[in-house]
Homo-oligomer: A and B are copies of this chain.
């Protein structure tokens, strides 16, 4: 795993929001970097592929891709090569996000390719059983997305603790070391605090920050909540 990744961590997924595309991606990453400098809390950003190099050049926080393909260099027009991501200076990638779900054998292969390239693998999983399955594949991080939080809009701080701890317990049965992020139900600082208190080592967030009126304020709120808990 790349040395520069610390926990607890806030990872911001830029998705394909226009508020986080091109110049906006660089600006948003700078806000994340500013909070990192002010609070010391680890923050990573996952912009689109076209923006990776510019974001890496602009900030000194970990930059991640949102997806890579299970390919080696060769004739794969329109696919995402791990090496091309690594060359931008990005340090890892999201894998199997619920908006970009993959075949099991591809998740397995991509984790291998990412590690061969010295990068960080963060695999998303949509429920307790797939989280456990993913944990056996030994990624660096898992982002768990409890269906109770996605389906209902209930924030982590208001949810039954078992929603989070149940998945953590299952994951820990098969993998003691994997870093576990909470990938759903994070709207406010208190959710971040609750997620850490329940045993995760960070959060994966998107629209809550990207679509916020003032993303800097929200990132700062999240980081403050995380700082208290360290």
Contact = CB atoms under 8 A, between A and B. Distances in A.
Contacts of A21: 73, 81, 83-84, 87
A76 B80 CA distance: 16
Contact of A137 (B17, B23, B79, B129): B129
Contact of A105 (B52, B126, B174): B126
A81 B136 contact: no
A15 B18 CA distance: 27
Nearest to A100: B78
A108 interface: yes
B101 A77 contact: no
A137 B133 CA distance: 7
Contacts of A13: 77
A196 interface: no
A102 interface: yes
Interface stretch (A34-42, A91-99, A186-194, A222-230): A91-99
Contact of A52 (B50, B97, B130): B50
Contact of A129 (B100, B127, B136): B136
Chain A interface residue number, banded: 35 or more
Given A21-B87, A134-B133, A137-B129, A78 B97 contact: yes
Nearest to A80: B49
A99 B77 contact: yes
A16 B101 CA distance: 22
A71 interface: yes
A15 to B, nearest CB: 5
Contacts of A125: 104
A51 interface: yes
A101 B100 contact: no
A90 to B, nearest CB: 8
Ranked nearest first, the 8 interchain pairs of A and B with the lowest CB-CB distance are A67-B78, A78-B100, A22-B87, A18-B73, A49-B49, A77-B97, A16-B81, A133-B133
